[in-house]
A and B are shown apart, each in its own frame.
Chain A
């Protein structure tokens, strides 16, 4: 089972720590918001957990499977 990083977008304020701690998996866009670039491979799980723990906005999570946001107008 592969893990994946998910951003809690309404809580993210572009502080950028996730990129500092995990540049292998997190880029920043032109406004400083994270762009998750890949799945969390086993060798990066420990670093990913650290990034989740250190996010000052608690806006990053490690989830078990890919998850899609629910539809705009249900």
Chain B
């Protein structure tokens, strides 16, 4: 009962795109990468900070935090540690897997160029246990550039294993589970040192920015939101696409989804009725303002009714709790039970009760999903 409604894949369909996902035909090797982009230029920290701020480069792991702010914070401390998070604990997501298997050197260029700018020597890379092709692709790419030592860690096959603090616990040799964060990782992360931990797509965007320059980076997207984003569209084989910000959803979503509600942002995401979604555009700002944040860019449109599907997802998410925080360990199974029974009042109460009461946002995300289903049902009923 508590299996994920979508199984994690390490072989998604990857569609040629305008930026990150361009030149797929050349393969993932370093020689083809250098032929496409040229040598990796050396960029100073101040120049990099300026470009990141002007282009509003934001984290692609889900929170959308400005990367420039993180980098500036890390640069203010001593001897920073860099972490590439490829763990992709959300099974419905496949974009980081797509990057690792098709464009690994964009990711590595991003972290290498930032390490050079910061004078950082320690780089860690976290890969998912349940997607063996990612680990193999990363190993192959690292072997092509032995000039910089990168330590690879394998995250557990658990939804919360990729959470920032859980990844740092793994790197420190402790159980790969979330712990309470008293300070941002950029201030005090691995061994108390300033730690720049970012999602693989974030690093790839930084890599591409440095390789193609500010002007070409800004050729995609809008003035307010330059650049592009990766999305994972669910299906029998998940599809990873690259879309410039500002693209109408109508041009992105498969025609076969027409009329059905779409779960935006994955299992911690928000149900959006088709008519509300289809006239909008792919935008971090607009989706956040609409109450349906893009998160890590996962879009799910199940064949079954949204309520039944949500119940299955909540069952799965309850089972994925690390079980360390009382409100999550007790509250999520109770929430799953209320969903199975169709007890909307109890589900609403429990969703409010668990929110904000954990070391990570697993209870908050699960509650968000439940609340959005109840809102969707209210809208359909009205």
Contacts and interface: CB of A to CB of B under 8 A. Distances in A.
Interface residues of A, number: 25
Nearest to A13: B326
B324 A9 contact: yes
Contacts of A29: 327, 330-331, 353
B163 A74 contact: yes
Interface string B347-370: 000000100111111101100000
- Interface size class, chain B: 35 or more
Contacts of B90: 73
Nearest to A11: B180
Given A35-B353, A73-B61, A73-B62, A10 B361 contact: no
Contact of A9 (B85, B164, B197, B327): B327
Contacts of B181: 69-70
Given A7-B357, A31-B330, A69-B360, A12 B325 contact: yes
A1 interface: no
Given A9-B325, A12-B326, A31-B330, A69 B353 contact: no
Interface in B42-96: 59, 61-63, 65, 85, 88-90
B296 A10 contact: no
B208 interface: no
Contacts of A9: 180, 324-328, 357-359
A2 to B, nearest CB: 17
B117 interface: no
Given A70-B163, A72-B361, A10 B330 contact: no
Nearest to A29: B353
Contact of A33 (B65, B198, B330): B330
A8 interface: yes
A14 interface: yes
A71 B163 contact: yes
Contact of B198 (A8, A72, A74): A74
Contact of A74 (B61, B324, B358, B362): B61
Interface of B: 59, 61-63, 65, 85, 88-90, 159-160, 162-165, 167, 177-182, 184-185, 197-199, 268, 296, 322, 324-328, 330-331, 353, 356-362, 364-365
Interface of A: 6-14, 29-33, 35, 61, 63, 67-74
